[in-house]
Chains A and B, each alone.
Chain A
């Protein structure tokens, strides 16, 4: 028996190797923006939800998904944008949260601020600005090691 279509679980595995263009430490799957992968006849349909509605990475993300899947031999591909339910940081995988922290970005917390400095782990942190280098991040600073760092906002 020869499979003529890639399995959905293979496609998930391929996409979990595609880095987020803005935060390459985590993959698109870690970020929780790939909402569904399904075959519709001969066409592979990938459902993607944007993080922020104006995030300029969205078009790059679509390009990266397409490039990765084409490289694995997928010919008929359709990318579907889904905005409801809206993306939430709850969809970040545990692996993604750990990778963010290791990369120096504090992962989102329900309390609305970082648990501790991602570098020295001190809990003495203060907010510099609600907005950071990308729409999904805010700027914080550690008052012990004095390093500024990004905090991935909780939405």
Chain B
């Protein structure tokens, strides 16, 4: 059982949770503001479970908080997709839709993992993520098949986010399940939703890589972490 595999799952939830919380107080409608904050909250809760277990298994005395607040960008193992900036609401929803579609399949596979602590966290998270995926799918369809403006923005968001899809389906010995095996079910869900949303899947399958291995994060992660980590790093003894 790989500690890095647990850290990958925790970092995905942490980085996306932090990104979504940037919308708090700024979303285009009150309901959307509340929904994004709720999803962020679920993801931060899942982070505590995954990073908590990672710290426990590592046995070096690092808690979930230590892992979240006292590592630098190059030690993070999240997918490049989740660290991409929010930009507009179209990009935020498209990023969420693509991540949720992968997350749902990954957690479904991990729900039957041999390790009881891993399958327990996966089963718990899956209930929440089922809801996230349903909402993101509805939003992509409503906005894609909406006005000319919302359609164009969603197509632009899809074109922008698509190069970050491939990394989700790369796999190595650190992963807790074979990520390549998740692709057919992901494609089935995503293609059906895109068709209904009148959006066109980009032709190129070029994929940026380097997030989950930590070899090459995008410039955006460091800026995000600077904001996220400033308090515990400035006041390492602070508790709350």
Contacts and interface: CB of A to CB of B under 8 A. Distances in A.
A39 interface: no
A150 to B, nearest CB: 12
Contact of A53 (B38, B39, B48, B131): B48
Contacts of A73: none
Interface in B32-68: 32, 34-35, 38-39, 41-46, 48-49
B114 interface: no
Contact of A83 (B35, B124, B135, B138): B124
B31 interface: yes
Interface string B111-148: 00000100111011101100100110010000000000
B124 A130 contact: no
Interface residues of A, number: 22
A55 B31 contact: no
Given A132-B34, A135-B42, A155-B127, A84 B49 contact: no
Given A131-B35, A131-B39, A153-B131, A86 B123 contact: yes
B127 A84 contact: no
Contacts of B120: 83-84, 86
Interface in A75-93: 83-86, 88
Interface of B: 31-32, 34-35, 38-39, 41-46, 48-49, 116, 119-121, 123-125, 127-128, 131, 134-135, 138
> 9 tightest A-B contacts by CB?
A54-B45, A53-B45, A84-B120, A131-B35, A129-B31, A54-B41, A131-B38, A86-B124, A130-B135
Interface of A: 50, 52-56, 83-86, 88, 128-135, 139, 153, 155
